[in-house]
Structure 1
Amino acid sequence: MSIIYSRLGEVALRHEYFKDGVARDLVLWPSEETSRIFQNGKIIFRQFQGGMILLYRAEEDETTPISPLTQPVSFYFFFQPKNPADFLQISDLDDGSNLYSSGKLPFFFNVPANASSDESSPENLSYDLLDGLRAKAFGIELTLEPFPPSVRIKVRKDLTQVVSPGKDENGLPLPDLFEIAPDDQGKIRFTFDLRGKAEGIYTFTLRDAGNTTDLWSKTYWVGNEPASPLGLIRLEYVNAPSNLYGSKEHYRLTIPSQKSRWTYLIVNGNQKVDLLSKTLEIEDVDADLPPPYSTYQFDQVGDSPSTDIKINNRETVVFRSQVEIPFFETPKLSLRLVENPGSKVLVADLPNPSRAAPTKKIGADLNTEIYVFI
C-alpha cells in the first residue's frame, strides 16, 4: 500500500528589503497544540527557503484525508529571525499608530473568505500587532486613574467567544463580567486562569461597574509556549467556506521594509571648502530609479555651517530628505553633493545608510544619520 501525502497549503515568506523579495533566515515552528493537531490529523509541516508547506496523508484518490480534522480549526506557527537585531533594523512592524516595541507580537493571519488556490495570486495575510504572549495562567497588578470603585472583567477569544476569566475558591468558573474592587492603595490585582482552554488570541478587558466603558484592554496570544518568538502566524479553517482539504491554498506573508528620512551630516574635514561663500546641495540625478526608489529632494537643516552641530570640532552642514526612503538591499545611486556656484561635484555617489545604522524619531518620522567627510 502506498503512503500518499497531498498538499494542504503553502505560505510564501516575503520581505520588501530583499531584491528578490524572499525573506531570509526566518525559523518557523508550529505551536504545542498545533503540533498535536498535526499528529492526530496526519499532517506534516515542512519549512523551506522562503516559505513553509503543509501536507496531509490522503487516500488513494489523493484528496480524501486518512484522518480528517473537524472544522473550524486553527493552526498557529511562530517565527524567529536568526539575527533579530538585523531583522528589526530593516523591518517595519508598526500597525498604523500602534508602534512596535519589545514585548509586542507581530501577528499575520488569513481570512477564510479570501482563500486562494491560485499560486500566481495568493491570499495576502492580514496583519495585527498584539500586546504580547502570556501563559494560560497569569496575573495583573495595575492602577487606573481615576480610581474606579470596582471593575468588571471581560475575556473574549477571537473578539466574540465569551470566556470565563478564572476560577473561584472552589475551582468553579467565574461568571462573565465578574466584578472586583481595587485594594486600599487603588491597585487592581487579578489572576487570569485559562487552563483547560484552547491556545489562541484572547482579549482581556477591565470595564467600569456599569459595563459601559473600557478602562483597560490588552490582546495576547495565550498558550503553553516556552520560547520567545518574534512573531506569530495563524491559518484558520472554517465550515463555510470549507478550504481545509481539496485544492491547495496559497498564502503570502509580506514584511514591509523599514523607511526613514536620510539625514546627511556633511563634515568639512579638511576645511578646504569655504562654507560662508559656497553653498552645498544634494542632488538626485538617478535616471534609472529601480523600485522601490523615487527621485528625492533634500533640504538643508539650519545654517551653513550649522551653529548647533560640529563633528570632531569641524564645520558641519546637515541635509535631510523631505520624505522617508525605504531600506533596500540594492543601494540608491547618484545622490551627489554639489558645491555652488559652479556646480562642482564634491561627492558623486553619497553613501546609503548602513544596514546597522541606528534610527531615531524626529517628530513623527524615523531618521537615519549618515556622516560624510569632505
Structure 2
Amino acid sequence: MNRSYRIAFQVTLDHSYYTSGQTPDFSILPTRDTMSWLKENKMLFRSDETGFRVFYTAAPFVPFTEKELRFMLVLKEGTRFFNITDLNVGGEDYTSGDLLLFKNSGLTSELTPGILPGAESKVFTYIFPQKSENPEALGQLEIRDEAGNIIPLEIPDPDTIPRTAEKEFRYPVDLSKYPEGVYDFKTSLSDNPEVITKQIYVDEQVKRQSAFGLIRITLTEEVLASSFKAQFTTKQSYWRYHFVIKNMSADDYVFSVEDQLGEYSFVQTNNDEMNGYPVVVFDSEQLIPLSELPRKKLRFIREQDGVRSTLVSNLSNPVVNIVNEDVGEPNVSNVFVYI
C-alpha cells in the first residue's frame, strides 16, 4: 500500500556566520531509541546541510503518544566551527567535552540552548567535583532521573564513599537498567556542607559518536507541522593587525588602518619587533563579527609630509580554518601582515 507523508516537524541549524544562514558543519543522526520509535510509528527521518525533517503517515494516520526524540549533532570538522562560533550559552562557556543541548518548549520556534558536562556510558566511574584534605572525610552521592526519581544505589554504600590517595571521591555507577537521558548527580562531603549538583547525559551511543550536541524534541500532536531552529551565533572579536615592516623604515612614516565603509575604526596600540624587523600594531576599537563573506575595504596607509599612499588595499581577515593559538587576550583575533 502506498503511503502519503506530511511533515511532523523540521529543524534548521542556523548560523549567522554563513551567507546562507545555515551551518553545514554537522552530520545529524537520530539516537538508536529515536530511530526505533520512528520506524514503529511509520515515520521518516531526512537530513541535509540545512538541518533535518521528520515525516509522519498522513493516510492512514497512525496516532502516537507524546515522545521525546533525540538527534545527535556530530561535527564533520571542528577547527573552523570553533573559530567562528560564540559558544557562550546563558553566561556559561562551552569547554571541550561538553554537550550542547537544544530542546523545544511549547510552540516556540527557537530551541532553548544549554550546556551539559558531556555524555557518559551507562556504566562509568563518577568523580566528585569536590576534593578534601581530610583523610577521614566521606563522600555522599544521590542520583535522580529526569522525573526527579531517586536511583537506588546499594553497593558500594553511596553515603560512605572513602577518599582516594588523590584526595578525590569516586563512585562506580551502573545505570544499565535505566533509560538514556539526563541524570542529576548530587554530591556532598561529611566535612563540608556544600552540596553540588551536576547534570550528566547518559547515553552509550552519544558518547561513542563523540557528539558535539544533542537536539531534543518533545513530539506531540500539537506541534505537528512545526518549524524549529537551533541558533548558533558568529564569534565577535577585536581584530589586531601586526604589520611587519621589512622593506622600509618604520620611523619615517605615519601609519593608519582605515575602513573605507566607515563601520570600524582602528588605533595604533604598540610598536614591537619580530626577527629584527619593526612591527606596527593596530587594534579595532569595536568588536567585529566574523563572516563567510570576507570583510573588504580595510586598507593599510602610510603618510609622509602630507602625502598618503595605500600599502595594502584589502587587508586579510582572521583565519578560521586552522588551529589558532591564543596570543594575549582570548577575545582578540591576530592577523600578521608582512610589508
TM-score w.r.t. the length of structure 2 is: 0.87
Q: 1:1-374 maps to which residues of 2 (within 5 A)?
A: 1-60=1-60, 65-66=61-62, 68-71=63-66, 73-112=67-106, 115=107, 123-141=109-127, 144-147=131-134, 149-158=137-146, 161-164=148-151, 166-168=153-155, 178-183=158-163, 185=165, 186-209=167-190, 213-215=194-196, 217-225=197-205, 226-237=208-219, 243-244=222-223, 247-270=224-247, 272=248, 274-286=249-261, 295-303=263-271, 306=272, 309-310=273-274, 312-341=275-304, 342=306, 343-357=308-322, 358=324, 360=326, 362-363=328-329, 365-374=330-339
**Structure 1 counterpart SS, 2:204:** coil
CA RMSD of aligned residues (A): 2.6
Residues in 2 aligned to 1:38 and 1:302: alpha-carbon distance in whole angstroms: 60
Q: Corresponding residue for 1:120?
A: none
Distance 1:228 1:97, change over 3 A: same
Residues in 2 aligned to 1:182 and 1:140: alpha-carbon distance in whole angstroms: 13
Residues in 1 aligned to 2:176 and 2:64: alpha-carbon distance in whole angstroms: 23
Residues in 2 aligned to 1:59 and 1:146: alpha-carbon distance in whole angstroms: 66
Equivalent residues of 1:359, 1:368 under 8 A apart: no
Residues in 2 aligned to 1:156 and 1:324: alpha-carbon distance in whole angstroms: 43
Shift of residue 48, structure 1, vs aligned partner: 2.3
Shift of residue 362, structure 1, vs aligned partner: 3.4
- Runs of 4 or more consecutive aligned structure 1 residues displaced over 6 Å after TM superposition: none
Shift of residue 340, structure 1, vs aligned partner: 3.2
Residues in 2 aligned to 1:284 and 1:299: alpha-carbon distance in whole angstroms: 12
The one-character-per-residue Cα deviations of 1:262-304 (angstroms, maximum 9, x if unpaired) are 111101111x2x32242211121215xxxxxxx222222223x
**Structure 1 counterpart SS, 2:12:** strand
**Structure 1 residues without counterparts, runs of 5 or longer:** 117-122, 288-294
Shift of residue 209, structure 1, vs aligned partner: 4.7
Distance 1:69 1:198, change over 3 A: farther
Given residue 250 of structure 1, which amino acid in structure 2 is its aligned partner? S
Shift of residue 11, structure 1, vs aligned partner: 0.6
Distance 1:249 1:370, change over 3 A: same
Shift of residue 6, structure 1, vs aligned partner: 2.3
**Structure 2 residues without counterparts, runs of 5 or longer:** none
Shift of residue 204, structure 1, vs aligned partner: 1.4
The structure with the largest strand share of the pair is 2
The one-character-per-residue Cα deviations of 1:3-45 (angstroms, maximum 9, x if unpaired) are 2322210111222111121211421111111122212222211
**Structure 2 counterpart SS, 1:207:** strand
Distance 1:10 1:267, change over 3 A: same
Equivalent residues of 1:32, 1:224 under 8 A apart: no
Shift of residue 231, structure 1, vs aligned partner: 1.4
Given residue 107 of structure 1, which amino acid in structure 2 is its aligned partner? L
Residues in 1 aligned to 2:33 and 2:42: alpha-carbon distance in whole angstroms: 14
Given residue 16 of structure 2, which amino acid in structure 1 is its aligned partner? E
Given residue 130 of structure 1, which amino acid in structure 2 is its aligned partner? L
Distance 1:373 1:36, change over 3 A: same
Residues in 2 aligned to 1:329 and 1:42: alpha-carbon distance in whole angstroms: 39
Equivalent residues of 1:153, 1:165 under 8 A apart: no
Residues in 1 aligned to 2:52 and 2:164: alpha-carbon distance in whole angstroms: 53
Shift of residue 198, structure 1, vs aligned partner: 1.7
Distance 1:154 1:323, change over 3 A: farther
Shift of residue 329, structure 1, vs aligned partner: 0.8
Equivalent residues of 1:263, 1:367 under 8 A apart: yes
Distance 1:150 1:183, change over 3 A: closer
Residues in 1 aligned to 2:13 and 2:163: alpha-carbon distance in whole angstroms: 48
Given residue 123 of structure 2, which amino acid in structure 1 is its aligned partner? A
For these two proteins, the number of residue pairs brought into alignment is: 331
Equivalent residues of 1:16, 1:256 under 8 A apart: yes
Given residue 92 of structure 2, which amino acid in structure 1 is its aligned partner? N
Equivalent residues of 2:79, 2:320 under 8 A apart: no
Given residue 82 of structure 2, which amino acid in structure 1 is its aligned partner? L
Q: Percent sequence identity over matched residues? A: 25
